[in-house]
Chain A
Amino acid sequence: MNPVNYLYLSALLFTIGAAGVLLRRNAIVVFMCVELMLNACNLAFVTFGRMHDNLDGQIIAFFTMVVAACEVVVGLSIIIAIFRSRRSASVDDASLMKW
């Protein structure tokens, strides 16, 4: 199978993630969309690694996974803190500061 198809899939996933970040209102869903974008990057790395016939792409995917896990922990702790004080995880409610 032509590996380019995986690149199309990766670009599609990245776009879906980016659109989700911009359109969704719940902070947790927004955050999941960011994770989807990171996974799209991983797919691209692995595919390019296959196309160039070297393993760098797969190694990079490992690092991305770890970074994504750390980001999850930090991000969810912030979202939980804000949910506890406001009883809402909507990004629209976080609007005390403007301009």
Chain B
Amino acid sequence: MNLYAPILVLGGIALAFGVVSLVMGALTGPKRYNRAKLEAYECGIEPTPQPIGGGRFPVKYYLTAMLFIVFDIEIVFLYPWAVYFDSLGMFGLVEMAMFVAAVFVAYAYLWRRGGLEWD
């Protein structure tokens, strides 16, 4: 049972984070209802007209998706390092810091050159 206690604690923290975020949002955020907000989905794409058969998605979706993949895939190197964090010691920390720094340089370039702006 002791073995799983950290997982339970982590689950508790995750649950608390979710609840706190929702409650805080509801309490502090402005409430302006309009037509777009009352649509069935609110994830950026209008439900109709759908770009099937000739229509095309704007290229900015592609850009965002690509950025997501590039930054997301870096995580695969963080997992093994995190598992052996203790025994890799200072060496692992320095190497990972260099790796993350390199990724952040790319991120800084992206941000400065307007890659994160939607319009």
Direct contact of A and B (CB under 8 A): yes
Across chains A and B, the number of contacting residue pairs, with CB separation under 8 Å, is 24
A77 to B69, CA, bound (A): 14
A62 to B77, CA, bound (A): 8
A72 to B66, CA, bound (A): 8
Q: Are B66 and A66 in contact (CB under 8 A)?
A: no
CB neighbors of A among B74-112 (8 A): 74, 76-77, 80
- With both chains docked as a complex, state the minimum distance between the C-beta of B64 and any C-beta of chain A, in angstroms: 12
Pick from B66, B69, B70, B76: contact of A62, CB below 8 A: B76
Pick from B59, B70, B77, B80: contact of A69, CB below 8 A: B70
Q: Is A80 at the interface (CB under 8 A from chain B)?
A: yes
Q: Is B73 at the interface (CB under 8 A from chain A)?
A: yes
Pick from B62, B73, B77: contact of A80, CB below 8 A: B62
Q: How many residues of A contact B (CB 8 A)?
A: 11
0 or 1 for each of A48-72: is its CB under 8 Å from B? (1 = yes)? 0000000000010010011001101
- With both chains docked as a complex, state the minimum distance between the C-beta of B86 and any C-beta of chain A, in angstroms: 18
CB-CB under 8 A from A62, the residues of chain B are 76-77, 80
A contacts, CB < 8 Å to B: 59, 62, 65-66, 69-70, 72-73, 76-77, 80
Given contacts A59-B80, A62-B77, A66-B76, 15 further A-B contacts (CB under 8 A): A62-B76, A65-B76, A66-B73, A66-B77, A69-B69, A69-B70, A70-B70, A72-B66, A72-B69, A73-B66, A73-B70, A76-B66, A77-B66, A80-B59, A80-B62
